Amino acid sequence: MKSISILIIEDEASIRDMIQFALVPDGFTIIEAGDVTTANQKIANHIPDLILLDWMLPGTSGIEFAKQLKRDPNTKNIPIIILTARAEEDNKIKGFEIGADDYITKPFSPRELSVRIKAVLRRGPLISPEDIIQVKNLRLNISTHQLTINDDPILLTPIEYKLLYFFVTHQERVYSREQLLDYVWGKVNYIDERTVDVQIRRLRNRLKPHGYNCCIRTIRGSGYQFTTNGLL
Ligand code: CA
């Protein structure tokens, strides 16, 4: 399974060390930056799965940088957790206004940090104000149910849409046929589990012209998993 990468933007090395120490045992890959310039270089190199952003940074402040990230289409969907020494309610509100996903006041325990990160990541991909879930170049509009990959529209049947929606909102986890029937089709007892295989095959065929069929993996003996790990 792909390791989740977390970019820490914090000017105090001792806090970066503490965070690294807290998160590495959970299997996260940690990328560090002491200021915004370094953070930009690291992001250009690799888009992280989540950003821990200190409020008070030398040069560009954390809040300014968060605004920049939310304006850039390449980075606007990265969840941001703001770290701050200030406990004022005012800052918390400002943080959420610019689109931060959570807010942690220093000092915090390693365990609290880890729990909060997992909670933010569990929410799945952020849905933009235009109601679009974006996974690489795949864009699924949850109000019109339209799918495009590389801006190419792809027609889906209602059940294919439901299946794809379930997968993109539950990435990386493996689901059995029985679980998929429950979650996607609803609690129905007259549908055979082979229906799942049939629909997955059809959905893969839809995604195939753009190579996204490889995102739906068959896990032998377990079921299916959606992952962007194999995408170029
Ligand atoms: Ca600081």
> d(Cα 213, Cα 203) in Å, to the nearest integer?
8
Indicate the fold that domain 5-123 takes in CATH: Rossmann fold (3.40.50)
- Centre of ligand 1 to C-alpha 123, Å, is 27
Handedness of CA 42, 227, 206, 181 (dihedral sign): negative
Say yes or no to pLDDT of 1 above 50. Answer: no
Q: DSSP labels for 80-106?
A: EEEEES---HHHHHHHHHTT-SEEEES
Q: What does the domain layout of the chain look like in residue ranges?
A: 5-123, 132-226
- Centre of ligand 1 to C-alpha 97, Å, is 20
How confident is the model at residue 150, as a pLDDT? 93
Q: Give the tens place of pLDDT for each residue, 116-174.
A: 888 888 776 555 556 788 888 999 988 788 999 999 999 999 999 999 999 998 888 89
- Centre of ligand 1 to C-alpha 50, Å, is 18
The CATH architecture to which 132-226 belongs is Orthogonal Bundle (1.10)
- Cis status, amide bond into 48, omega within 30 of 0: no
119 or 177, which is more confident?
A: 177
